[in-house]
Amino acid sequence: RVWARSRWGAQEADLIGSEEAKECGWAEGGAAAESEEEVVVSPLVTLTGHQGGSSCVAWCPRGRFLVSGGYDKAVRVWEVPPDGEARTLHALVGHTDWVLSVAFSPDGRRIASAGQDRTIRLWDFRGEREA
């Protein structure tokens, strides 16, 4: 089922990973995407770990890793193996307010995060230190 976003009131975000889909909205229990044709998107995995929810997410160029930022001021690195059982590899702490945006470097070795605290932080993928 595809929800009409005008009646739905859920948050919207860019859909990463598909050239056909232009934007994606999500709601509890599933997600809906807009593209040239109506498409229903079902969640493959649920990532649980941020306190208060996540605000942004990005795929690693290496394929099976994600990074997310949250309202808990943390940046989390996730492993998402083919079986769909995601796990947190690292929780990167340093922002003093919400994390608004996250991205991987093209080689996947660094993570950039931007926060409501007006800082941009660079992190080592392994989570050992701030880069």
Domain around 34: 5-41
Same-domain check for residues 76 and 102 = yes
Same-domain check for residues 61 and 114 = yes
Same-domain check for residues 21 and 58 = no
Same-domain check for residues 78 and 26 = no
In the three-class reduction of DSSP (H, G, I as helix; E, B as strand; rest coil), residue 89 is classed as strand
Task: Please indicate, yes or no, if residue 129 is contained in any of the structural domains.
Answer: no
- Rounded Cα distance, 55 and 71, in Å: 7
Task: Please indicate, yes or no, if residue 76 is contained in any of the structural domains.
Answer: yes
Q: How would DSSP label each residue in 49-61? A: --TT-EEEEEE-T
Task: Please indicate, yes or no, if residue 47 is contained in any of the structural domains.
Answer: no
Enter the tokens of residue 114.
Answer: 């931007």
Local confidence pLDDT in tens for the 131 residues of the chain = 334 444 444 444 444 444 444 445 544 455 555 555 655 666 667 778 888 888 898 988 877 888 999 999 999 999 988 776 788 998 999 999 999 999 999 999 999 999 999 999 999 887 666 65
Same-domain check for residues 106 and 77 = yes
Contacts with 100 (C-beta within 8 Å, 6 or more apart), sequence order = 55, 56, 69, 114, 115, 116
The whole-model pTM stands at 0.68
Same-domain check for residues 59 and 120 = yes
CB-based contact 11:23 (threshold 8 Å): no
